[in-house]
């Protein structure tokens, strides 16, 4: 992450110095990476991170631009950090999720159809660590939602949907700061699917517990 941090700092310095102004298009990737003395991979990761916190706007087929940098836009980034650090409430949400979701997954083990499980496997096989962070997070949310929806308990499903929605930012932040997060997440998803396919509810509950605990342990270290 050190090289990515350096790339972020270099782009930030250009904005502060006025070399890059609000609404201005960044130079082509090759030109900018050479000017900054950075690899193109480091530059791409920096752009991805700055896009997520609304400093840059990547327009597919057009280029990468500095956003308006309006306070209302940048406050979203402040809210991002505040959500991670506010009085432990996010940790409490993850604790609640760790208690409830394994139980829902255990119920779903005997209630999901073979087609449901096959669909989960297809969803895991449809992404890899090279997939964009946004798509990986979308996959993660959909994967868990499909399992909890299969538990057959609408109250439990509704509670978990609410909890999952509140932890999206933590998943994005983990994906940006933990280099092996994507590979680990996909491996754990695949193990859960294998256990669902074998109809082993106790194993499914254990795997889901360990999976959620990984995010919780990372967040405790981060805050």
Local confidence band at 183 (pLDDT 50, 70, 90 cut-offs): confident
Contact 196, 108 (CB under 8 A): yes
Continuous H helices in the chain: 2-16, 29-36, 40-52, 71-85, 89-111, 114-125, 133-149, 154-166, 168-177, 181-197, 201-222
Higher pLDDT, 171 or 51: 51
What's the pLDDT score for residue 52? 80
Whether the Cβ atoms of residue 176 and residue 49 lie closer than 8 Å to each other: yes
Nearest to 129 by CA among 196, 63, 178: 178
Instruction: Tell me the CB-side half-sphere exposure of residue 217, using CA atoms within 13 A.
Output: 8
- The whole-number average pLDDT for the span 6-29 is 89
Q: Is the pLDDT of residue 86 over 90?
A: no
What predicted TM-score, i.e. pTM, was given to this entire model?
Answer: 0.61
Integer CA distances (angstroms), 166 to 125, 160, 211, in order: 26, 10, 17
Please give the domain boundaries of the chain with CATH numbers for all domains.
2-69 (1.10.10.10), 80-222 (1.20.120.530)
Give which of 64, 56, 94 is closest to 174, Cα–Cα: 94
Per-residue model confidence (pLDDT) at position 105:
97
Cα angle value 106/102/123 (rounded, 5°): 80
């Amino acid at each position: 992450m050190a090289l990515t941090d350096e790339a972020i700092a270099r782009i930030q310095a250009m904005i502060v110095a006025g070399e890059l102004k609000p609404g201005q298009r960044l130079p082509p990737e090759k030109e900018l990476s050479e000017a900054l003395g950075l690899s193109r991979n480091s530059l791409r990761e920096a752009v991805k991170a700055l896009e997520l916190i609304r400093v840059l706007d990547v327009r597919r087929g057009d280029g990468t631009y500095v956003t308006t940098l309006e306070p209302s836009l940048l406050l979203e980034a402040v809210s991002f950090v505040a959500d991670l650090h506010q009085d432990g409430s996010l940790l409490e949400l993850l604790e609640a999720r760790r208690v409830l979701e394994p139980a829902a997954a255990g119920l779903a083990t005997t209630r999901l159809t073979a087609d449901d499980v096959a669909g989960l496997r297809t969803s895991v096989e449809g992404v890899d660590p090279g997939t964009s962070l946004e798509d990986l997070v979308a996959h993660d949310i959909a994967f868990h939602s499909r399992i909890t929806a299969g538990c057959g308990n609408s109250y439990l499903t509704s509670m978990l949907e609410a909890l999952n929605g509140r932890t999206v930012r933590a998943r994005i932040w983990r994906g940006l700061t933990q280099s092996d997060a994507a590979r680990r997440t996909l491996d754990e998803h695949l193990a859960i699917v294998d256990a669902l396919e074998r109809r082993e509810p106790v194993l499914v509950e254990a795997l889901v517990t360990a999976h959620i605990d990984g995010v919780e342990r990372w967040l405790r270290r981060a805050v």
